[in-house]
Structure 1
Amino acid sequence: MAAPFDLCVGLGQHCESTYQIRRITGQETAQFFDWLEIDLVFVRQALDTDFRGLLKPGRMALTTDGQGAIDLDAGIEFYHEFHAQPGAELTLADVEEQLPAVREKLEFLAGRWRELVALPARVLYVRQDANGVETAADLERLQTTLRERYPGHDFAILWLRRTAPEGLDKLPPGVACRELPLLEGRWQGDDQAWDEMFAALPVDELWP
């Protein structure tokens, strides 16, 4: 059966979604929010500002586990872009030294995002709320931001959680919520659960 969308694009929060979208769709083209740990409010901020002001010198810090870097203004945690010296722990000096190259990469991906939203294509956005902290109102605000920023863009939002949230009856048309379990010991997630979920996408909720 043909997919009800032309492109499927992740909106971050957990690397699991990036891995699974690529596995299921075969789409290997990188998008801006791939592999990023980012709260939903900062996704909206990135869209509202058209990705301006990212990775400014002096506005970076190490993540609490010391394994990545965080942009203090953009609220984005990077776990794949900054690298420690061989045999050493990541330092803020490493991060500052590598900022220009990472900024260049993100600017390229921001340009790709602008091309994406201008396409005459139906896009399914996937937001994985792995921490279970988002609400129906948060997803409605995301939908509003996308509609206001990109008039005429044909999209829907699939909101993924570990457990069902309250207020599902308050989700607007064009946003659907589904549950995907945590698979202990495998950050990539449960392949079978993802396959079953994509095979039974609620098309009437996503594109009413």
Structure 2
Amino acid sequence: MFDLCVGLGQHCESTYQIRRITGQESAHFFDWLEIDLVFVQQALDTDFQVLLDPGRMALMTDGEGAIDLGAGIEFYHEFHAKPDAKLTLEDVEEQLPAVREKLAFLARRWRELVASPQRVLYVRQDANGVETAADLERLQTTLRERYPGHDFAILWLRRTTPDDLDKLPPGIACREIPLLEGRWQGDDAAWDELFATLPFDELWP
């Protein structure tokens, strides 16, 4: 078993489902963030220092959120438009200090977690099916090298089985989680089945 389940992006679906299934309420750094794996790596490599610098923010093309162009993080929940108006870049810049403070707090929580004796199951949801076994192995190596003694495993979730599944090292397991059209939270039944049948022999061999 594990003590804590922590999402590593890429989609809000995983945050919602982890909280629903485990009952965990504490927020973690990558919760609710749309973030490609390369930028998860960047956040770890820089110890979360390259974040929310003024002048690097832009609006998402749908106008529903903002993106940190340097950190590669899409924010759909942290920045808010004025009543009866659309989100503007001015809104984003005004709210930057508060959001930066929140992320700094979550970065401190991350550092405390990886220094603790807790066994952590990380969940990386590759909703677009673009990541490879080598990408996940690099993530595993980064976590091991940056946080010696940290007890963790990685669950890699995709919509389809990757071609290089046989190249995954021990400590990483890959499973499929289907897309449920029209519901960003995902398929509750599929997630329940996933957590009821976690492959602990692959995660902690």
Same topology, TM > 0.5: yes
Partner Cα separation in structure 1 for residue 139 and residue 50 of structure 2: 20
* Map of 1:134 onto structure 2: 131
Match of 1:41 in 2: 38
Q: Which residue of 1 aligns with 2:147?
A: 150
Q: Hey, what does 2:26 align to over in structure 1?
A: 29
Q: What is the Cα deviation at residue 126 of structure 1?
A: 0.1
Distance (Å, rounded) in 2 between the aligned partners of 1:149 and 1:76: 21
Matched residue type, 1:103:
R
Partner of 1:182: 179
Deviations along 1:143-186, whole A, 9 cap, x unmatched? 01111110110000000001111100000100000001011111
* Aligned mates of 1:64, 1:170 — CA distance in 2: 37
Aligned equivalent of 2:62:
65
- What amino acid does structure 2 have at the position aligned with 1:161? R
What are the ranges of 5 or more consecutive residues in structure 1 without an aligned counterpart?
A: none
Aligned residues: CA RMSD? 0.6
> Structure 2-normalised TM-score?
0.99
1:82 corresponds in structure 2 to 79
Please name the residue that 1:55 is paired with: 52
- Is the CA contact 2:127–2:159 (under 8 Å) kept in the aligned structure 1? yes
Q: Any conservation in 1 of the 2:34–2:74 contact (CA below 8 Å)?
A: yes
> What 5-or-longer segments of structure 2 have no aligned partner?
none
Among residues 161, 164, 188, which one is paired with 1:164 in the alignment?
161
Q: What is the alpha-carbon distance in structure 1 between the residues aligned to residue 61 and residue 135 of structure 2?
A: 26
Q: Measure the CA separation in 1 of the matches of 2:123 and 2:10.
A: 10
CA contact (8 A) 2:43 2:50 kept: no
Secondary structure of 2:117's aligned partner:
coil
Q: What percent of counterpart residues are identical?
A: 87
Partner Cα separation in structure 1 for residue 69 and residue 146 of structure 2: 24
**Structure 2 counterpart of 1:155, one-letter code:** F
Map of 1:194 onto structure 2: 191
Using the alignment, how far apart are the partners of 1:186 and 1:205 within structure 2?
A: 30
Mapped to 2, the partners of 1:21 and 1:117 lie a distance apart of 19
The number of aligned residues is 205
